[in-house]
Amino acid sequence: MKLPIPVELTRILTETPELGDSYLVGGCVRDALLGTAIQDVDVEVFGVDYERLLRALRRWGRTDLVGRSFGVVKLTTREGRTFDFTIPRRDSKVAPGHKGFEIAFDLAITPREAAARRDFTINALMYDPRRETVLDFFGGVRDLERRVLRHTSPAFVEDPLRVLRGMQFAARFDLQPAPETVALCRSIKTGFRELAVERVCDEWFKWAARSRRPSAGLEFLRATEWLEQFPELQATVGVPQEPEWHPEGDVFVHTGHCCDALVSLPQWQQADERSRIVFSLAVLTHDLGKARTTERVEQGGVWRIMSPQHEEAGAALAESFLQRLRAPHAVIERVLPLVRHHMAHLQTVTDRAVRRLAKRLEPETIPSLCTVMTADAMGRPPKPPVAPPIVAGLLAKAAELQVQDRAPRPILLGRYLVELGMEPGPAFGEILEAAFEAQLEGKFMDLPQAFVWLAAQPDLPLPAHARFALRQRGK
């Protein structure tokens, strides 16, 4: 079986005697078997110590000792390609946390023993480019074909982060977890407390940026009972929804459908990685507020399930969830307005409403909100997966008003008040705030109109000399 690996790497492996017992390992083998492009290439080298490996690789380019304690050498070739080479090691859990491992290098370790320390069978595959064969000691190829996520060995329990890796792998490759793996994950729930928050956030971001079926990851968390580690999400399980609008089930089920719908949209697929993360986290958290606001309400003799003001409650819970992950502020500030305004499809598309919506969404945009609203509407099977009717009109109006890419910017600025002879002070803020409100209301569209509007506002704290300057400007 020949895998599509870089020709340059094949030369390095076949023409370097010290690399005679080396193999491509992990994700690059998995991805090649799935027919997807190989991103990062990792090579594991057996029977060679660290110094000898360094000397051998220096023939091919620059080496960086990025992980000496873990036996990692990064080779950057003269052609500019980068490959990671590792020496197999034995890990022993000696203390809690991801740093609580005792690491020892062993030249006698076998490929099978090295593969056994990997988390899942689909990641324990090795490829020998010299013989063009896949080394599969634990049934990873079969699991990949059957779309099964299975742990490799009992050593899985030594690093609880592997459960969250399982979450994002299930979502990225649309995998179903093996029952024994689910049971093992449940047995180490308390290990969540050991994990560095940054590592937890990394796994969520991989889920958000790379998923093929995000709901598979969410279902993995529920099956393993690790959803409990994220109480804002756990609270949505079993929260009812009005069947007329949500025939698909409870809020948690709806959220999974919405996330799946999102990743099918070209707006998500064509976005940069950070924007995909933002969109996914916004859709994941858009209905968290329903857990706090859902109630049964009688309307005309009919009892309905409603969740009034769940958007605002949801934004607060989304912020709690993201802050606990220590997500970057630049992500949080983009997610929250999308959650807070995801019900904008209920409003009327007017110039005034669209300008104000664009302002409230900062630093996000109306097209981003339309992406989230579309995913929300499409996550309600068996209802047809279509965008809300308002989306096309909202996008058209935003383009017409030139607010599709950013919020309106104030026309009347402080420097123009200075030109009227005013000194900067408290009155500036009051005048400029009132002017921007008037601008959003559509009362003026350019600077000359802004001066006309300002001259007609007797209640604003505009000094007499400034009013005189306005009259002179208008002549």
In the CATH scheme, what is the code of domain 7-145?
3.30.460.10
Q: What are the structure tokens assigned to 211, written together?
A: 């998923």
Please name every residue paired with 86 in a beta bridge, in sequence order, or none if there are none.
Answer: 44, 72
Nearest to 408 by CA among 419, 397, 393, 422: 397
38 within 8 A of 19, measured Cβ to Cβ: no
* Residue extents of the structural domains in the chain: 7-145, 414-474
226 within 8 A of 192, measured Cβ to Cβ: yes
What is the pLDDT at residue 68?
54
Nearest to 72 by CA among 97, 93, 103, 109: 103
The secondary structure of residue 395, as a DSSP letter, is: H
What is the pLDDT at residue 103?
59
Amino acid letter, residue 227: L
| DSSP string for residues in 154-195 | GGGGG-THHHHHHHHHHHHHT-EE-HHHHHHHHHTGGGGGGS
What is the pLDDT at residue 7?
84
* Helix (H) or strand (E) segment spanning residue 92: strand 89-93
Mean pLDDT per 10-residue segment, the chain (475 residues): 81 91 92 85 90 91 74 87 86 55 71 93 93 94 97 94 97 97 97 95 97 98 98 97 94 98 98 98 98 90 91 97 97 98 85 91 96 96 93 93 88 90 88 90 89 89 86 71
The answer to whether the Cα torsion of 5, 7, 9, 12 is positive or negative is positive
pTM exceeds cut of 0.85: yes
Nearest to 96 by CA among 181, 188, 183: 188
Q: Which residues contact 100 (CB under 8 A, 6 or more apart)?
A: 93, 94, 194
